[in-house]
């Protein structure tokens, strides 16, 4: 994956839906509207990212007495991941990016996505709120791109496998074909004895229905959003990875705000994130129950089975990542995750 090449390509694209302001400082005046883009449908009950965006919008608008308005653009209305990253680098807007967006400008963030990295929600929250890794990443991202990372948004809990056949141990992957989101997942499936094929989210349902692939991985929220229960029979609640996205704001934009408004924006990001986490985690059991009602058969691996998954998946992922980013980023992420897991006990 040639990240520098990808970034060069992205920087040549025309930003969609945002004003490009490279030559002059940005000034946010009373009555200013800021565009905020993200993936997924505008349904609070299904899409945690939309729930977060709605809460963030309401708090900013209320606390600024309407002098700042946040205009929401769900369903990637302002463009794909690369286009929206271009927009937030060059224009006065906000973007909630997935790893697909982050990889174009900051692949180091993949160090936070090592399989089975976090033992609990509490550990993940500690890591993404206070770790040395996140602080270093925030500074490097701002220096490299001009983007400020405001928060890491929980988008659906931990990730589960779905498949056409039961998966209880890593041996059950042998010979199966899985949809992969990116190269990191391809490497993980290979370690399990399966093959991974990169397929865009919008094509996953049809690929599963037509048998192009046998399975995929996502948190229960996205399995519901995508109606994947219609084309998948088995659900393995392995808690493979913490499912998150990244709240990004143009650096010049936030610098142009008054100190009071900067504080309002940052506080709204934090508090909306806390509320979204509570909402997501309170709904996990209900979402799994919904999938079972729809006909899926759910299985929760025991500790021994999880350990075996981890023995294969983690080294494979790290070996892939070493080719993409400096080892120091990986080491720092793993150390901070270990501390977070210990502190969460």
SS3 call for 150? strand
Check pLDDT > 80 for residue 82.
Answer: yes
Check pLDDT > 60 for residue 278.
Answer: yes
User: Mean of the per-residue pLDDT values for the chain?
Assistant: 91
Residues 211-227, mean pLDDT to the nearest whole number: 95
Is the pTM higher than 0.95? The answer reads no
Residues 251-260, mean pLDDT to the nearest whole number: 97
Cα 340 from Cα 11, distance rounded (Å): 36
Best CA proximity match to 193, nearest among 211, 215, 224: 215
Residues 181-188, mean pLDDT to the nearest whole number: 89
pLDDT of residue 192: 95
Categorize the per-residue pLDDT at 11 as very low, low, confident or very high, splitting at 50, 70 and 90: very low
DSSP label of 74 = -
Whether 250 and 93 have beta carbons less than 8 Å apart is answered as: yes
Q: Which residues pair with 306 in a beta bridge?
A: none
Residues 293-314, mean pLDDT to the nearest whole number: 96
Q: What domains are defined for the chain?
A: 3-155+244-283 (3.40.190.170), 160-241+287-343 (3.40.190.170)
Q: Which residues pair with 160 in a beta bridge?
A: 218
């Amino acid at each position: 994956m040639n990240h520098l090449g990808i970034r060069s390509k992205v920087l040549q694209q025309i930003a969609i839906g945002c004003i490009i302001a490279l030559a002059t400082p940005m000034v946010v005046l009373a009555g200013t509207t800021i565009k905020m883009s993200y993936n997924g449908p505008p349904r609070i009950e299904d899409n945690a990212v939309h729930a977060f965006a709605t809460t963030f919008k309401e708090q900013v608008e209320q606390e600024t007495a309407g002098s700042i308005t946040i205009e929401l653009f769900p369903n990637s209305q302002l463009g794909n991941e690369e286009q929206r990253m271009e927009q937030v680098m060059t224009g006065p807007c906000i973007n909630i990016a997935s790893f697909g967006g982050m990889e174009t400008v900051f692949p180091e963030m993949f160090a936070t996505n090592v399989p089975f990295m976090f033992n609990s929600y509490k550990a993940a929250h500690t890591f993404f709120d206070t770790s040395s890794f996140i602080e270093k990443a925030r500074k490097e991202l701002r220096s490299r791109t001009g983007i400020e990372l405001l928060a890491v948004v929980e988008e659906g809990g931990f990730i589960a496998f779905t498949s056409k056949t039961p998966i209880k141990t890593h041996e059950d992957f042998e010979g199966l074909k899985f949809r992969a989101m990116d190269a990191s997942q391809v490497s993980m499936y290979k370690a399990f004895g399966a093959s991974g094929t990169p397929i865009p989210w919008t094509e996953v349902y049809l690929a599963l229905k037509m048998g192009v692939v046998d399975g995929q991985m996502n948190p229960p929220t996205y399995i519901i959003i995508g109606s994947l229960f219609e084309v998948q029979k088995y659900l393995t609640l392995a808690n493979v990875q913490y499912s998150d996205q990244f709240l990004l704001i143009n650096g010049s934009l936030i610098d142009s705000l008054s100190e009071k408004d900067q504080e309002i924006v940052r506080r709204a990001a934090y508090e909306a994130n806390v509320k979204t986490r509570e909402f997501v985690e309170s709904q996990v059991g209900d979402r799994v129950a919904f999938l079972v009602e729809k006909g899926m058969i759910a299985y929760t691996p025991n500790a021994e089975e999880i350990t075996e998954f981890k023995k294969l998946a983690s080294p494979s992922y790290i070996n892939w990542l070493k080719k993409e980013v400096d080892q120091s980023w990986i080491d720092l992420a793993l150390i901070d995750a270990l501390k977070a897991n210990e502190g969460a006990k």
